[in-house]
Structure 1
Amino acid sequence: MVSLKDISGHWAESAIQSGVTAGYINGYQDETFKPNAHINRAEFITMLVRALQMKETTNSLAFTDAKQIPSWASSYISQAVEAGIVSGYTDGTFRAGKQLNRSEITTWMVRAAGLTVNNNASLSFTDKDSVPAWAVPYVAAGVKSGLVSGVGQNRFAPKQLTTRAEAAVFIAKLLKVKN
């Protein structure tokens, strides 16, 4: 059993501990989780694919920056690509080290949950105009299902970077929605 020395008393402790117990969350070699650090694309997809216990794939990654994807994450990213959860950018890159914002992580969570997306959906958040157009249907589906919510004061904060703790909570919610 992995014991993480920096989650005790943290607001997301139970979600993080559940992920550790289930085997989809690992800490760092120094036995920390760094719950308040921002999560990047490779880290999140690794946790997500482990949580969903997706089937292995033999497909290789076709991204132009595939050589920059950490070896520990490439098979998980490949599984997520094959499942239609993630894709790269229009320039052909994946950008594994890029930190995730709330719009991106919500899109991936909605796809992973297999939720129906309404392309004509609208949002009622006061900052709805700052949600990228491509993310609006996913944010709407995520909110409707209870998978995601705002950050308070009727704001979604679509460009706010996601912490590792928030990612753990998102995945815990996803597992409840899927079951």
Structure 2
Amino acid sequence: MEEKTMTNRLTKGILTTVGAGILSLGLTAGAEAEELFTDVSVNSDAFEPIENAFFKKVMTGYEVQNTDGSVSFEMRPYQEITRAQAAKMISNGIGNLQATQQISEFPDIDEWHWAHDYITLLETDGIVTGDQDGDFNPENRLNRAQIAKMLVEGFDLPFDESDTETGFADVSNDSWEAAYVKALVDAGITTGTSPDTFSSYDNVTRYQLAAFIHRIYESKELTDDMAWVTARGTFNEMKNTFYSNVIKTNHGEPVYPYENFRSDMLETVTNAYELTVIENYEKQCRACDGLYYTGGFNTKLGFEMIENSEDTIELKVLHTMVGLNPSAEYKLELKKDNGTWKVNDYKRTYFQQNKGLPALNLSIDEAANYLEGDDRAVSTVQVYKYEYLRETDGNYIFYRHSSEYSGEYGIDKGTGLPMSVY
């Protein structure tokens, strides 16, 4: 699939690339890359929940080109969030794919709207509704009462419509939002804007929604979909630490000392897996294509949750592609270490020359969702949809509509193997 790559302290190419390498990432060894976020200090209260949401792909930022050729992200943490932005964050947060072939029934959301699929996924599950005219109003702001309802229903938090005693003086027991606010309080998701106020009609910022979702992940038993998102976020953060240090030296130079960033690495890998990380770090080629850590875990093609327990997440996914590396099955295991999920094992099994790929027998909708979901996860352009055109020799042919490149694209319906652009 088409990908754009660029470099920064967090390299989006590193974060998302499957089957690319150091050369194709365009990394500049020794470059003084800017900080990950341009407007969120590592010392601010907003940093942890926003960083967490970013690596999980719950939220994305606005790209900023730096003078050294790297890319940072403007997160706008205190900007009031729109209904469309909130739909994307909540849909991604609960573990939906970033694609659906259903069409929204909201008259003001046509299928070319950038957030159409996120809104439609929540609409289908009854998590969002329209106004008296049936409109969704994607650019309207959301207040704290509305977000409470969306979070409770989206993440299926324990809810009792008769339990309305919130403890907040500004939330009356007979208000429509009281039971939803109480559910957030009981789940440990909110303590209000003060000990006795919830401020139901204050608008929610991007940071506040990221914080709500972050707390849900820390307090709720993870569904398989949420475990998949957790695995993706942990793996992406590990990749960022690994490769941002790989590129600090050029090919032929001594590697940047592992001890200098060991404490950062141990934030995302277990002690048991550290020896493998060190070995891979020392062997990672700095002048060729081919990365050790290439799994993106962006889609659920061939997805299997092997274990989802209190202290272990183990899953596998399939990624089919053309390009530098063959298709592969990726298996990832996380262990909870003192309350923090960390990578404990990672394996990839390549299908050389794409031989031996499992039979998937994708439907048209499944194929379109795979292409759209993976494309949206890795592309820096707006991907609107893959429009089905025809079937030829066991291949589905789609027309890719995007803000930058549009054209015909094929996929083998039996194996999920993408074909060249026509």
**TM-score, length-scaled by structure 1:** 0.89
- Structure 2 distance, partners of 1:58, 1:28, is 27
Q: How does 1:30-109 map to 2 (within 5 A)?
A: 30=64, 31-55=73-97, 56-67=99-110, 71-109=113-151
Letter in 1 for 2:199: A
Q: Shift of the alpha carbon at 1:45?
A: 1.2
Letter in 2 for 1:53: G
Deviations 1:137-157 (A, max 9, x none): 111111111122211131010
Matched position secondary structure for 2:74: coil
- In structure 2, what is the equivalent of residue 117 of structure 1? 159
- In structure 2, what is the equivalent of residue 25 of structure 1? 59
Residue range with higher mean Cα deviation, 99-108 or 4-13: 4-13
Q: Is the 8 A contact 1:27 1:33 kept in 2?
A: yes
- In structure 2, what is the equivalent of residue 141 of structure 1? 183
Of 27, 34, 39, the match for 1:6:
39
RMSD, aligned α-carbons: 2.0
- Structure 2 distance, partners of 1:51, 1:45, is 10
Matched position secondary structure for 1:71: coil
- Structure 1 distance, partners of 2:159, 2:44, is 33
Aligned residues: 177
Matched position secondary structure for 2:63: coil
Q: Shift of the alpha carbon at 1:173?
A: 1.4
Of 147, 167, 171, the match for 1:128:
171
Matched position secondary structure for 1:38: coil
Q: Is the 8 A contact 2:145 2:177 kept in 1?
A: yes
- In structure 2, what is the equivalent of residue 158 of structure 1? 200
Larger strand proportion of the pair: 2
Of 200, 209, 214, the match for 1:172:
214
- Structure 1 distance, partners of 2:115, 2:101, is 14
Matched position secondary structure for 1:79: helix
- Structure 1 distance, partners of 2:106, 2:178, is 26
Q: Shift of the alpha carbon at 1:81?
A: 1.2
Q: Is the 8 A contact 2:164 2:174 kept in 1?
A: no
- Structure 2 distance, partners of 1:132, 1:89, is 21
Q: Is the 8 A contact 1:128 1:156 kept in 2?
A: yes
Q: Shift of the alpha carbon at 1:29?
A: 2.9
Instruction: Kindly report structure 1 stretches of 4+ aligned residues shifted beyond 3 Å.
Output: none
Q: Is the 8 A contact 1:103 1:132 kept in 2?
A: no
- Structure 1 distance, partners of 2:112, 2:139, is 9
Q: Shift of the alpha carbon at 1:74?
A: 0.8
- Structure 2 distance, partners of 1:122, 1:25, is 31
Q: Shift of the alpha carbon at 1:162?
A: 0.7
- Structure 2 distance, partners of 1:23, 1:60, is 23
Q: Is the 8 A contact 1:113 1:178 kept in 2?
A: no
- Structure 2 distance, partners of 1:134, 1:70, is 33
User: What runs of 5+ residues in structure 2 fail to find an aligned partner?
Assistant: 1-9, 13-35, 65-72, 223-422
Change (3 A) 1:73 1:110: same
Larger helix proportion of the pair: 1
Matched position secondary structure for 1:138: helix
Matched position secondary structure for 2:114: helix
Report 1 or 2 for greater relative contact order, CA contacts < 8 Å, sequence distance ≥ 6: 1
Q: Shift of the alpha carbon at 1:178?
A: 4.2
User: What runs of 5+ residues in structure 1 fail to find an aligned partner?
Assistant: none
